[in-house]
Chains A and B, each alone.
Chain A
Amino acid sequence: MVELIPMSVATAATDLSWNPLDDLALLFHYEFMVHAFEAGTVVAIVAGAIGYFVVLRGSAFAAHALSHIGFAGATGAVVVALSPIVGLLAFTLGAGIAIGALGNRLRGRDVTIGIVLAWALGLGVLFISLYRGYATEAYALLFGQILGISTSDVIATLAAGVVTIVALVVVYRPLLFSSVDEDLASAKGVPVTLLSIVFMAILAVAVSEAVQVVGVLLIFALIVTPAAIAVRFSSRPPIAIGIGILLALAFTWFGLAIAFFSPHPVSFFITTLAFATYLAVRLAEALRLRLHAKRLANS
């Protein structure tokens, strides 16, 4: 993930031809693009799946905070000559478990979380200054560096992805139950505090993965936006999760493809696709409601 592709390659003047097959062949011609698609696919599936629970549990801000705290960990790791992914994972996991253990006591504590995440970003700035000369490292962490992913990074991402999906499948029913009504789930024998910790730990791993693609600052675009759109289409959990995964995949794939043929960064296209889709869905909803109201008024 540290390895940077020279800007000249990443933004090679690859012009779109009129033959879609040629374009597709060109897209997968470079190894870094193949890796980007592989890692992006894994991350999108994980992000889309866990996003449903993030939205259901109202822990979007906690996800955001995790990524910022992870930034401090990643930059700190670089200072002590470790891989940034190690620091990222250690800090997001630590913070995730702490937030999970506090559980309900943290609900609505946006101010507290905000104060901690601002401080974490401040720490990150300090670590960057201690590690002279590598602002690109910080830039990659903040905004993602999916075009600089090595084969071993892809394998690590895949392994982490499998772990998160398996963990989600194992806790699926009780997690759903406690996300809908914690008191009821607890009375039914669901270990709600343990689940809250496990969920935040899974989220920490998912956030660490997603940071590679969109970076710390843009994590919402992959974890929250697809799920937030999906729940407007279906209130059946498995279907909403499926739609979330498909949307996250679409944003990632199209974002990568568009970026390849343009001089602008991938993260911009992924976040823009996510935002534009969300906006379109909300507008369509508002329009439908107005039409419905009109029809009612006329009848």
Chain B
Amino acid sequence: MSDRGAAIEADGLAAGYGSTAIWSQASFSIPAGSFTAILGPNGAGKSTLIKLILGLLHPIAGKLEVLGEAPTRGNPRIGYVPQGSAFDPELSIRGRDFVGLGVDGHKWGMRLTGRPQIASATDESIRAVGAEAYADRQLGRLSGGEQQRLLLAQALVGQPSLLLMDEPLSHLDVRNQGAIVQLISEVARQRNLTVLLIAHDVNPLLSHIDHVLYIAQGKLAMGKPADIITSETLSAIYSAPVEVLRDRLGRVFVVGLEEEVSHPHG
């Protein structure tokens, strides 16, 4: 964590592929130890932001600092859960082996030294996410929620200070979404982790997150959920009529930020 208490700091940041910007003029600061949801329509550049933080993509303008340094690929202080559908059912590797790859999967050769240390780190991480019961089963044959827990265990195994998750909830049912969010929130608090999580739907996250980072129409906006997710704020930021609707159960729906084409997932 940097001295200024910011895990991620962006100043005039622009991202894109080639010279075409997907979004630009982004300045924000994510405090260390906070939980932030990244929201916005499909194709707005949410994963692009994660790729910038991971050092997989370079900014086309502006400055970005991650944990007090310029982003570098393979930063051991970052835990990452990539976007993706479920693992191939035929994928023949145990959950435990997969978590272990989070420790030393990037090193050349075979694992010759440090086996006990890696085994205990793996065990500890599997316990932290409550995956002991199925960690020895074939990863591809596990349910979506079980796979997501092992992905989280893999991200946590290196004792990171920043956790990046790209749509970890999108393939889960509502009950599992709630359980995973609860788990992430608890683990993050215990370990003083900074969490950035991309989501389609803010509702399972509302009672856990500190900030919302909204990405739409080439612009980023960050703030407390209650301040950002209002018709007035979103309409002002995006100079377009945006409606934030709340139902009787307190669930929130944002209408008007999607592109012209309709998105099946909303």
Chain A residues engaging chain B, CB cutoff 8 angstroms: 55-56, 58, 169-174, 176-177, 180-181, 183-190, 231-232, 234-237, 240
Q: How far is the CA of A235 from the CA of B80 in the complex (A)?
A: 24
Contact B109 A180 (CB under 8 A): no
How far is the CB of B209 from the nearest CB of chain A, in Å? 23
Q: Are B106 and A177 in contact (CB under 8 A)?
A: yes
The residue among B82, B93, B102 with the most chain A CB atoms within 10 A of its own CB is B93
Assuming the A-B contacts A231-B92, A237-B93, A240-B92, are A183 and B82 also in contact, with contact meaning beta carbons closer than 8 angstroms in the complex?
yes
CA distance A186 to B91 in the complex (A): 19
Q: Are B110's CB and A173's CB within 8 A?
A: yes
Q: How far is the CA of A169 from the CA of B107 in the complex (A)?
A: 12
Measured CB to CB, the closest approach of chain A to B184, in angstroms, equals 17
Neighbouring A residues of B87 by C-beta, 8 Å: 180-181
A189 partner, pick from B73, B94, B109, beta carbons under 8 A: B73
Query: In this complex, what residue of B is CB-closest to A190?
Result: B106
Q: Shortest Cβ distance from A115 into chain B, in angstroms?
A: 25
In addition to A58-B88, A177-B105, 20 A-B residue pairs with Cβ atoms within 8 Å of each other are: A56-B91, A172-B109, A173-B101, A173-B110, A174-B108, A176-B105, A180-B87, A180-B139, A181-B87, A181-B98, A184-B82, A185-B105, A187-B54, A187-B78, A188-B80, A189-B74, A190-B106, A235-B94, A235-B137, A236-B97
Q: How far is the CA of A194 from the CA of B154 in the complex (A)?
A: 24
B230 is an interface residue with CB less than 8 A from chain A: no
Give, as a whole number of angstroms, the nearest-CB distance from A196 to chain B. 15
B250 at the interface (CB under 8 A from A): no
Chain A residues near B74 (CB-CB < 8 A): 187-190
A–B Cβ pairs within 8 angstroms, 16 of them: A173-B106, A173-B107, A176-B93, A176-B101, A180-B91, A180-B101, A181-B98, A183-B82, A183-B84, A184-B80, A187-B73, A187-B82, A188-B74, A188-B106, A235-B92, A235-B97
Answer whether residue B236 sits at the interface, using C-beta atoms and an 8 A cutoff: no
Distance in angstroms from A154 CB to nearest chain B CB is 27
> How far does the Cβ of B167 sit from chain A's closest Cβ, in whole Å?
12
Q: Are B94 and A173 in contact (CB under 8 A)?
A: no
A186-B56, A187-B54, A187-B56 in contact; A177/B101 too (CB < 8 A)?
yes
| A55-B80 CB under 8 A given contacts A170-B109, A172-B110 | no
Most B CB atoms within 10 A — which of A174, A184, A186, A232? A184
Task: Say how far A168's CB is from chain B's closest CB, in angstroms.
Answer: 9
Interface residues of B (CB under 8 A from A): 54, 56, 73-74, 78, 80-84, 87-88, 90-94, 97-98, 101-102, 104-111, 137-139, 154
Chain A residues whose C-beta falls within 8 Å of the C-beta of B154 in the assembled complex? 184
Residues of B within 8 A of A231 (CB): 90, 92
Least CB distance from B239 to A in Å reads 35
Which residues of B have CB within 8 Å of A169? 109-110
Q: Given contacts A183-B84, A237-B97, are A174 and B91 in contact (CB under 8 A)?
A: no
Residue of B nearest to A232 (CB): B92
User: Is the beta-carbon distance between A173 and B111 smaller than 8 angstroms?
Assistant: yes
Do A174 and B80 touch (CB < 8 A)?
no
Nearest 6 CB-CB pairings of A with B: A189-B74, A177-B105, A231-B92, A183-B82, A235-B138, A235-B92
CA distance A43 to B169 in the complex (A): 46
Q: Residues of A contacting B102 with CB < 8 Å?
A: 188
Contacts of A177 in B (CB 8 A): 101, 105-106
CB contacts (< 8 Å) of A232 on chain B: these are 92
> How far is B56's CA from A177's CA once the two chains are assembled, in angstroms?
17
Indicate if the CB atoms of A190 and B105 lie closer than 8 Å.
yes
In the bound assembly, the distance between CA atoms of A177 and B80 in angstroms comes to: 14
A50 to B252, CA, bound (A): 51
Are A174 and B92 in contact, with the CB atoms below 8 A?
A: no
Query: Which residue on chain B has the smallest CB distance to residue A185?
Result: B105
Give the docked Cα–Cα distance between A109 and B91 (Å).
20
A187 touches B97 (CB 8 A): no
A236 to B54, CA, bound (A): 29
B91, B92, B94, B137: most-surrounded residue (chain A CB, <10 A) = B92
What's the Cα separation between A181 and B81 when bound, in Å? Answer: 10
Q: Which residues of B contact A180 (CB under 8 A)?
A: 87, 91, 93, 98, 101, 139
B144 to chain A, nearest CB (A): 15
Contact partners of A173 in chain B: CB under 8 A: 101, 104-111
Closest B residue to A181 using CB positions:
B82
Q: In the complex, which of the residues A172, A174, A187 has the most CB atoms of chain B within 10 Å of its own CB atom?
A: A187
CA distance A173 to B108 in the complex (A): 6
| B149 vs chain A, min Cβ distance (A) | 15
- Give the residues in chain B near A234, CB-CB below 8 Å: 92
Is B106 a contact partner of A189 (Cβ separation < 8 A)?
Answer: yes
The residue of chain A having its C-beta at the shortest distance from the C-beta of B72 within the complex is A189
When distances are taken between beta carbons in the complex, the residues of chain A under 8 Å from B139 are 180, 235
Q: Which residue of A lies closest to B101 (CB)?
A: A177
